[in-house]
Amino acid sequence: MRLTGRRGSSAARPDTAMLAAFERLARDGRPVLVTALGLIFAAAALWMLWGAGMGMTAWAMTRAALFPHLLGFEAEAGMEMGRNLVGPAGWRLRYVALMALMWWAMMIAMMLPSALPMILIHARVVARGRARGHAMRASPGWFAAGYLAVWLGFSVVAAVMQLALVETGLISGMMLWSESRWLSAGLLVLAAAYQVSGLKYRCLVECRSPMEFLARHWRDGAWGAFGMGHRHGAFCLGCCWPLMLLLFVGGVMNLLWIAALALLVLVEKLAGPGVAVARAGGALLLVWAAATLAV
């Protein structure tokens, strides 16, 4: 009976190893952060694949085409949809709101993987500071929120641009790709020129140097972390905004273009020769623009 009693009391006591593991998890927080960001990424990607309220899946809006303005078989339906957008202001507002959410989901799916190292390094700095007894009040979650807030702002602007382009017939109202060689060539030239600009280089250096960024811009507290994330997001936007506008060329929901642009951004920000890749990409985009005008 005594043996049974000991077992019962032992089972009733919490496992000290398990308690220690939970304490480490609470102090570190990185597993929770990675899980939360993974769920956000998965939700954004799945909603995008299902069409993000467009009435068509992203698969149905995907075409392998270097010159989408030549794909004329959806043009008539697209122009009709564009004419239908000219309606009450309230309808336009709902369209912009829905498209802003669509763009934001797309930006999260495209940009979060390349931002993850910076977010995790921020979390590691906070965890190590707390382990050494420092009063680290910065929150990695707030850092991530500040980063995503930048892309929400960009998404609203992109949605307004999309409405204007659809209503003017420059992009298909149904497939959301360019129907004008001049629009396509113009956006390609803009992206090509920006790829080799000084501003692109400065923003790219900031994105490629996480420890230096944190050392220069560190702010404590929740709002400090939000501000750091917002600043990092601004540099990231500074690297990529002309590339994102190329979705108006190939199709806002074209999965092939989305994957290609996301991969280019990932290589530019994380790979060793990222700066050289960016400049080579600029030359390629310029050739592409010339070919667009020629066909």
Cα(242)–Cα(118) distance, integer angstroms = 22
Tokens of 247: 């979705």
Q: Which residues contact 201 (CB under 8 A, 6 or more apart)?
A: 275
Predicted model pTM: 0.83
SS3 15: coil
pLDDT in tens, the chain (295 residues): 444 444 444 434 444 543 344 344 444 557 788 888 999 999 999 998 888 877 788 988 999 889 998 886 554 444 455 445 545 666 788 899 999 999 999 999 999 999 999 999 988 888 887 677 666 667 888 999 999 999 999 999 999 999 999 999 999 988 899 999 999 999 999 999 999 999 999 999 999 988 899 999 998 888 999 999 999 999 999 999 999 999 999 999 999 999 999 999 999 999 888 899 999 999 999 999 999 999 9
Q: What is the CA radius of gyration of the chain?
A: 24
Which residue type occupies 9? S
The upper half-sphere exposure of residue 155, i.e. CA atoms within 13 Å in the direction of its Cβ, equals: 21
- Is the alpha carbon torsion for 233, 239, 244, 245 positive or negative? positive
Give the closest residue to 228 by CA, choosing from 237, 219, 215.
Answer: 219
Q: Which residues contact 280 (CB under 8 A, 6 or more apart)?
A: none
Cα(6)–Cα(178) distance, integer angstroms = 75
Cα(236)–Cα(153) distance, integer angstroms = 13
Cα(215)–Cα(201) distance, integer angstroms = 20
